[in-house]
Amino acid sequence: MIIRENYLNKVVEAKDTEFIKVITGVRRSGKSTLLLMFKDYLLNNGIKKENIIHINFESANYDEIKNYKDLYNFIKEKIRNEKIYLLLDEIQNVESWEKAINSFKVDFDIDIYITGSNAYLLSSELSTFLSGRYIEIKMYPLSFKEFLKFNNYDEKDIETKFNEYLKYGGLPAITQIKDKSELVLSYLNDIYNTIVKKDIIDKNNIKDVALLENIIKFLTNNIGSPISSTKISAYLNSNKITKSNHQTIDNYLNMLEKSFIMYKAERTDIKSKEILKTLGKYYICDTGIRNIISGFRNIDEGHILENIVYIELIRRGYKVNIGKSNEYEVDFVAENPNVIKYYQVTKTLVDTNVLTREVRSLESINDNYEKIILTMDKTINNDINGIKIINIIDWLLKNED
């Protein structure tokens, strides 16, 4: 079991605080393994085995726990007169689970860690019971740096390894079967179908499955392109794929975000800081899942690179939006409490028209925050009028830029 230090450190830092630790992320991104890593950490640091209660609700061993009362009674029987560490995996399978969690905090000396594969964990119900008393730890598929580590790769022939990452993505289990392409395709397809069925269709009682699948395919075919529900509806209706209206599509888009399969980047006016309500962009959680939906031959590498950069920025803790600066568009405005950075992403700057366009967008921003162009070029001149030019692979391999 390879330790993902970044995530484990976040869990350890929150240990023994009053907050409930809520670990979220798309299915098979490593949440269950993270709980096992943390369990090992507790055991290695003197916590007795009897004081750790670990339940994975995807196991048939716990099928009898249907609702919060079952959960409360099951845990109550195991609690001793000592501090308990409660690790609950995929807890959304238990009806009204948040009521049990609230009772545990009131009734026992207990430190609670939970995982879930959709954002309904952080819905209004949870907020009502646990408002201000939980910390969310967001988990993502492997970064490229982690991908190299999991595969025991060095940095020789790095572009070939990066192309493998673009093709198959960063779900941790892929590293065990990467040399068996048919198994990889089957695994990615199974994960995609599970997400759609369990976290979207079943959760929301969706009847028009064909519409949902067509929306997903439209999004994956248009990664990094400006999108609205009206635009999707017009496309589906004009091509006679399926009848739809923008309100239904808005609802489905929201469901996709809650399943963590898609992320939306809003457009903002850089000068006024206002959110623009039209034409945001959607990015997918993992390029392997994208390719299983839209096809491995139907790859717009420029937009796939943009997707990789977007996920890496949110993995690094930035809030990321699309920027509008006068009449120009900036690919990403990345903010955290300490800094703002502006990014353009392009496969190559060899074409002088592309170089002019990318530089012009960043030069239109009238402030002194850092401006960066990420490209697959191996650059010699790495600075143009104060704008940094950085190779994407080099950027991904650094902890920060």
Reported as a single tens digit per residue, the pLDDT across 383-394 is 999 999 999 999
The confidence band for 5, taking pLDDT boundaries of 50, 70 and 90, is very high
Average pLDDT over residues 182-187: 96
Distance CA 343, CA 387 (A): 10
Q: Please state, in angstroms and as integers, the Cα–Cα distance from residue 5 to each residue in 13, 28, 101, 199, 366, following that order.
A: 12, 17, 27, 28, 38
248: three-class secondary structure by DSSP: helix
DSSP state for residue 217 in the 8-state scheme: H
Q: What is the pLDDT of residue 244?
A: 81
Average pLDDT over residues 344-366: 96
What's the one-letter identity of residue 179?
Answer: D
Q: What is the pLDDT of residue 237?
A: 86
Distance CA 165, CA 144 (A): 7
pLDDT at 212 over 70: yes
Token representation of residue 38: 């943390």
Q: What is the pLDDT of residue 299?
A: 73
DSSP state for residue 300 in the 8-state scheme: -
DSSP state for residue 245 in the 8-state scheme: -
Among 39-48, 151-160, 271-280, 365-374, the range scoring the smallest mean pLDDT is: 271-280
The confidence band for 61, taking pLDDT boundaries of 50, 70 and 90, is very high
The confidence band for 38, taking pLDDT boundaries of 50, 70 and 90, is very high
Distance CA 345, CA 351 (A): 14
Average pLDDT over residues 186-206: 95
Picking from 93, 41, 88, 48, the residue whose alpha carbon sits closest to that of residue 67 is 93
Helix and strand element counts for the chain (H, E): 17, 13
pLDDT at 297 over 80: no
Among 228-232, 356-360, 372-376, the range scoring the smallest mean pLDDT is: 228-232
Residue 29 · residue 37 · CB < 8 Å: no
pLDDT at 174 over 90: yes
Picking from 153, 159, 189, 196, the residue whose alpha carbon sits closest to that of residue 171 is 189
Token representation of residue 1: 């079991």
pLDDT at 170 over 80: yes
Q: What is the pLDDT of residue 9?
A: 97
**Residue 200 backbone dihedrals phi, psi, to 5 degrees:** -125, -65
Domains along the sequence of the chain with CATH: 5-138 (3.40.50.300), 144-397 (no CATH)
Q: What is the pLDDT of residue 343?
A: 98
Distance CA 372, CA 271 (A): 18
- Which percentage of the chain shows pLDDT scores above 70? 97
pLDDT at 43 over 90: yes
- Which percentage of the chain shows pLDDT scores above 90? 80
Q: What is the pLDDT of residue 381?
A: 67
pLDDT at 124 over 60: no
Distance CA 234, CA 243 (A): 9
Distance CA 374, CA 339 (A): 18
Q: What is the pLDDT of residue 163?
A: 94
Average pLDDT over residues 18-31: 95
Q: What is the pLDDT of residue 278?
A: 76
Cβ burial, residue 281 (10 Å; 0-12/13-18/19+): buried
Average pLDDT over residues 76-101: 92
Predicted TM-score (pTM) of this structure:
0.95
pLDDT at 226 over 90: yes
Q: What is the pLDDT of residue 380?
A: 67
The confidence band for 286, taking pLDDT boundaries of 50, 70 and 90, is very high
Contacts of 35-38 with C-beta under 8 Å, sequence gap 24+, read 35/87, 35/89, 35/113, 35/115, 36/1, 37/1, 37/3, 37/4, 37/8, 38/8, 38/11, 38/12, 38/87, 38/113
The confidence band for 319, taking pLDDT boundaries of 50, 70 and 90, is very high
The number of angstroms, rounded, from the C-alpha of 140 to the middle of its chain's C-alpha atoms is 5
